[in-house]
């Protein structure tokens, strides 16, 4: 079966660091994506991991451990505009479709 | 275009009516995906296309739902005899090639409300 778990909600303070975890159990794996989605808007691509390790992109970093079925998204120097839902999605090995978790709604407070 | 364009933004239908949603992928993108998001829950994959050919339809409900991607036309997702449970936001995404490291680019979605 396919199962992707993320915390439903998180809160953090402006300027802080937050880590959003994602665990997955899927029948196949060919990469993991993180997307950001503001309310009423399209999801926008943040990062992609297919090999173990850390990928850094400015304030955002993403980590993957395939043996543990685990990824996290790290957001540094939080800004108010980072308040959004963060979606973890696993790429299906054979068909390219994305299998999504429920998303983590992050609220950043001043 | 530079963005995935979905129309309409909102669509309201009475139960039992037909609903048709449209998606213009980014120019040059060969792959189109449709997802359904019910009540802000996780995205559910419906169907994908490689150009005008169905690539994967394992997520499509067997009845009432159909989709097409014809040359020189927006792709479409059609729901016949809509039910209350079809109320959701329908997202379309496109991708340039089958390369695994390329992300899918999403449109803003069409919010379908069945009354």
Q: What is the pLDDT of residues A41-86, one digit of tens each?
A: 899 999 999 999 999 989 999 999 999 999 999 999 999 999 999 9
CB contact under 8 A, B106 and A43: yes
Q: What is the mean pLDDT of chain A?
A: 94
pLDDT score of B97: 83
Give how far the C-alpha of residue A41 lies from the chain's centroid of Cα atoms, to the nearest Å: 17
Q: How far apart are CA A73 and CA A65, in angstroms?
A: 12
pLDDT score of B1: 67
Contact criterion met (CB below 8 Å) for B11 and B111: yes
CB contact under 8 A, B55 and A95: yes
Query: Looking at residue B25, what DSSP letter applies?
Result: P
ω into residue A87 within 30 of 0, thus cis?
no
Q: How far apart are CA B45 and CA B52, in angstroms?
A: 18
Q: Which of A40, A48, A100 lies at the smallest CB-CB distance from B43?
A: A100
Per-residue pLDDT of chain B (115 residues; tens, 9 = 90+): 689 999 999 999 999 999 999 999 999 999 999 999 987 777 999 999 999 999 999 999 989 999 999 988 999 999 999 999 999 999 999 999 877 778 999 999 999 999 9
Q: Which two tokens stand for residue A29?
A: 């794996």
Q: Which of A50, A87, A89 lies at the smallest CB-CB distance from B101?
A: A50
Compare all CA atoms of chain B with the CA of A50 and give the residue at the minimum distance.
Answer: B101
List the end-to-end C-alpha distance of chain B, in Å, as a whole number: 33
Query: Looking at residue B104, what DSSP letter applies?
Result: P
């Amino acid at each position: 079966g396919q199962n992707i778990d993320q915390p439903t909600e998180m809160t953090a303070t402006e300027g802080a660091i937050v880590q959003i975890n994602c665990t997955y159990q899927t029948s196949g794996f060919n990469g993991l994506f993180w997307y950001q989605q503001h309310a009423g808007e399209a999801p926008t691509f943040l990062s992609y991991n297919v090999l173990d390790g850390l990928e850094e992109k400015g304030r955002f970093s993403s980590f993957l451990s395939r043996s543990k079925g685990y990824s996290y998204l790290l957001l540094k120097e939080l800004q108010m505009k980072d308040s959004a839902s963060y979606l973890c999605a696993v790429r299906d090995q054979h068909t390219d479709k994305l299998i999504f978790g429920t998303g983590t709604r992050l609220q950043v407070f001043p | 275009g530079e963005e995935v364009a979905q129309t309409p933004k909102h669509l309201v239908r009475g139960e039992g009516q037909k609903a048709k949603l449209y998606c213009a992928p980014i120019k040059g993108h060969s792959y189109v995906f449709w997802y359904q998001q019910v009540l802000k829950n996780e995205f559910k994959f419906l169907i994908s296309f490689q150009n005008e050919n169905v690539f994967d339809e394992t997520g499509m409900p067997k009845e009432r739902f159909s989709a097409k991607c014809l040359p020189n036309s927006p792709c479409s997702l059609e729901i016949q005899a809509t039910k209350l449970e079809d109320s959701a936001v329908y997202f379309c995404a496109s991708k340039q090639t089958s390369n695994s490291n390329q992300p899918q680019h999403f449109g803003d979605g069409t919010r379908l409300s069945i009354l």
